[in-house]
Amino acid sequence: MSTQTYYYLAASQKFLLEEEPLDEVLRERTRYYQEQEKALDFWLVKSPAFLDAPELAAVKARCPQPAAAVISTEKTLITWLKLRIEFVITGEFTAPSDSIPEPLASLETVAS
């Protein structure tokens, strides 16, 4: 079984979904992907399950709950978002690549 590396930007739901213009930023990025005819490789996830992994306990402890995260297979996207949104936690994790991993099972796909 092969694995995929996922990159994330996490913060409290209140911060990401109410205080920051995240929806505007993600709509802009979605539009850019469409113009480039590139498949979406990012997801906005409320209460991301990957934060419950024992190896991410320190990250979860630093992130106000309930949390939200933007998850991508592309590190440059998370870096790009980090430059636009301050006071977030970024990192990466690996998960099986042969299906949608459990951390993304409750994903919300960003609408354009």
Beta-sheet pairing, 3-12 with 67-72: antiparallel
**What pLDDT tens digit does each residue of the chain (112 aa) get?**
688 899 999 999 999 999 988 888 899 999 999 999 999 899 999 999 999 989 999 999 999 999 999 999 999 999 999 998 888 999 999 887 654 444 444 444 443 3
Q: Which residues of 41-62 are buried (b: 16+ CB within 10 A; e: fewer)?
A: ebbbbeebebbeeeebeebbee
Specify the pTM.
0.81
DSSP, residue by residue, 71-100: EES-HHHHHHHHHHS-S-EEEEEEEESSS-
Give pLDDT, residue 44: 93
> What is the residue extent of each domain of the chain?
3-104
The CATH number of 3-104 is which of 3.90.420.10, 2.60.40.180, 3.30.70.1860, 3.30.750.24?
Answer: 3.30.70.1860
